[in-house]
Amino acid sequence: MMPFWWDMMRMLLIRLFKIGSLFALISFQLTIAAAFGQEFTYDRDEPPTTDMLMNVKETFEYEVRYGFFTLGWVDVEILPDSTLDGRQVHHMRTRIRSNSKIPFVGKDIVNYESLFSHNDKWFYAHEFWRDDIHDENYDRLRVDFDRTEELVYFYEEGEPTDTLALEEPASGGDIVFYYSRMFAGIEDSYELPVYIEGEKSTLTASSSSKTEMRSYDAFEDDVETYFSEGTTDADGPFGFSGRFKSWFMTDDLRIPLEAHVKVIFGNVKVRLIDYERHE
């Protein structure tokens, strides 16, 4: 599979999981709805805190489509906590699977792994790396976040490539998936620094408190959603313009549902097709 396919899938994932502009300290009054027999609670005025997002077990599967073609799938999950330098940290895995039915693509699997922590305001990364499972090429890319020196170190195939100044809340991109949910439905603009491929990019976006009903394979009935849109200065393949749109569910956890990423000949669409939640 040619490298730009993975670049594209990686960009899509980062666009899907955007961030918000202010931090809310939340006290919920909950109501109940059901989807496939699971119970979901709703508070439409306030998004979740970092603690709330880390206190549930969720798994997500997204389909990535361009026109009539399914490019692949993205799986997101939090693994059991790990230990780093004597402290307990969260472990997030994002797995990208290519669609082997597309000519000349093959059956490729790439894992993006993040070790991170959280405070009352945000999530922040300690280590981020990429494993090419199909080639048994582990730790192909790595980003280390050194908060003592306030530097971000980049490695490729174990060799150092770049060093940049650290700007909080720093991450390799994937934990934006959780960070963004804290602000869905809040009307304001916001920014987030993201460190990928030896560069720091800035993601800017805004959300709306207005809602609309949309349908997804992951849920039996239509669900109420918040809409967000924004831009990023990261370079992208296929004429990526930097513009994106996304939708979040209005439930208590603001489930990321869908993203549209503008490319030269249309939009690439990422949609949730399976979701599980366990308290």
pTM, whole model, 2 decimals? 0.81
| Measured distance CA(91)–CA(110) in Å, rounded | 16
| Measured distance CA(201)–CA(197) in Å, rounded | 10
pLDDT profile of the chain (279 residues), mean per 10: 49 40 24 34 69 92 88 91 91 90 79 92 91 89 94 95 93 80 82 83 84 95 92 58 84 92 76 91
Quick check: 90 and 78 in contact, CB under 8 A? yes
- Region of 37 (left: φ > 0; alpha: ψ -120 to 50; beta: rest) is left
| Measured distance CA(245)–CA(212) in Å, rounded | 14
Question: Exposure of 77 by Cβ count < 10 A (0-12 exposed, 13-18 middle, 19+ buried)?
Answer: middle
Q: How many residues does the chain have?
A: 279
According to the model, what pLDDT value does residue 99 have? 86
Which residues is 209 bridged to in the sheet? none
Domain boundaries, the chain: 3-278
Question: Exposure of 156 by Cβ count < 10 A (0-12 exposed, 13-18 middle, 19+ buried)?
Answer: middle
CA distances from 247 to 104, 133, 213, 242, 269 (A): 32, 30, 10, 17, 11
Who contacts 2 (Cβ-Cβ below 8 Å, separation ≥6)? none
According to the model, what pLDDT value does residue 26 have? 21
According to the model, what pLDDT value does residue 125 have? 92
| Measured distance CA(198)–CA(137) in Å, rounded | 19
DSSP state of 251: B
Q: Would you give the distance in Å from CA 187 to the centre of its chain? A: 20
According to the model, what pLDDT value does residue 20 have? 28
Cα torsion 3, 198, 238, 92: sign: positive
